[in-house]
Structure 1
């Protein structure tokens, strides 16, 4: 059986050259070599890259979605990639068998579309928000889930050919959920695999006005694009209540409300509601698409 052909995609803003080099070194040490490696400078110049690495310098910052789509297009053009591995530029593959583990997972399950890595800091700690389950439980417990982590994951190229790439207009926030819902509705499976680890510094999301606005706007777009009509107000109502209850900043709540209104009044791209059997499948996996 031929080996899995892995394409690696890394976005950078040009402000972490040492971390980027360490990540590329960890990719080079994999026991199953990557077929292609693409580094995208998202509106920034790139530092010198190792031989065999393709660099793309975008003239403007296209966000997470746009930058990843640029990398994806380059990998797709080569025609020799089975799985795309997206990695944060300040992450690190601490094990040399990441790609060979992916090979085993995809060989066992032809319907496997997405593998979500476990993100842990240098002390092995995994933050609650980095476990793709509603009920977190033990971060070391893997299994089938309904979404995945943006910092480290693998995407089946046949899946992407069928469902399309990242939602460009999202820029950042909820782009993983948008892609995950499309994958599930197309019959693919998503697996959280905690034994595949991306080491990443312990961080918290930046709580500035733009963050709150885009989180709210994109959540509305997500609902408008993918949910059956009857679930749209339920989903948005639940999240409005949760946001109000969790908010500790009046300015942040105002920015969130502005983003919510923007999401309601602006187009969100093609609407294709998921099937009810997908809703039921997500419910059985522990996260119905209302929360």
Structure 2
């Protein structure tokens, strides 16, 4: 294929403007420039963006999934982007060769759908939860995986077209796994490349007030949307047990089980169960879809 052209998308709620501007500065310093940069204000105005950046202001917060779909559609309208790079607004590209490396990867492999960055804090450390595999002891181990990191990743535009993009209803949590499962089911690869680094402050996902509820609700939606019928109750039973064992907050547990019930009652989108050969592929990649 010809040299892939990289476009960048960033979501913001307007409360991290110094960090956002620092990120955009690191994007501008890449030795192979992005052809487009889009910033989506998720329910916020976007004052003071660099002239080269396209701003999209939404009247309401559509969440991670909805906001990223807006960014994808805007970049698609330009017609000159082959690979979309999503970056958290409080992240930072600490090397200048990130987009060049991404273009190299996609140029070499036409079935590469998703590339996951490594997330590292200011000391260079990577949290265990930021390694997208069960055996997470070595964050520098490169290879094919079954999900990816929302904070920093690259997406093939043809893959997005084929899979239909992000699951709008999810709003926040597990949207990456939903997209990765659909991509893998259609024969695309998901690669974890630790040499691509997004520096990001050390955080906990539970800092978000809705974390427990949406985590449980979206977990149920994942199973209902994508798993063959015999696997769905096993997957949800395993995760319920793990949650009870791991969660130290009674309020968090109540919110989690409330979200679980909400997921059972409601729909997160149409059901299109993955093929059994996809189940086997996920298993060979080290993460059978029961955990």
TM-score (ref. length: structure 1): 0.98
Contact persistence 2:5–2:80 (CA under 8 A): yes
Counterpart position of 1:200 = 200
Matched residue SS, 1:102:
helix
Counterpart position of 2:224 = 224
Q: CA RMSD in A?
A: 1.0
Counterpart position of 2:13 = 13
Q: Measure, in 2, the Cα distance between the counterparts of 1:215 and 1:199.
A: 24
Contact persistence 1:93–1:197 (CA under 8 A): yes
Residues 171-199 of structure 1, C-alpha deviations (whole Å, 9 max, x = no match):
00100000000000000000000001000
Does structure 1 residue 73 correspond to structure 2 residue 68?
A: no
Counterpart position of 1:144 = 144
Contact persistence 1:209–1:252 (CA under 8 A): no
Gaps of 5+ in 2: none
Q: Measure, in 1, the Cα distance between the counterparts of 2:258 and 2:5.
A: 44
Q: How many residues align?
A: 291
Q: Measure, in 1, the Cα distance between the counterparts of 2:208 and 2:24.
A: 31
Residues 1:208 and 1:41: Cα distance change in structure 2 (over 3 Å): closer
Q: Measure, in 2, the Cα distance between the counterparts of 1:160 and 1:139.
A: 27
Q: Measure, in 1, the Cα distance between the counterparts of 2:107 and 2:5.
A: 12
Gaps of 5+ in 1: none
Contact persistence 1:208–1:252 (CA under 8 A): no
Contact persistence 2:143–2:191 (CA under 8 A): yes
Residue 3 of structure 1 and its aligned partner are, at CA, apart by 2.8
TM-score (ref. length: structure 2): 0.98
Contact persistence 1:209–1:255 (CA under 8 A): no
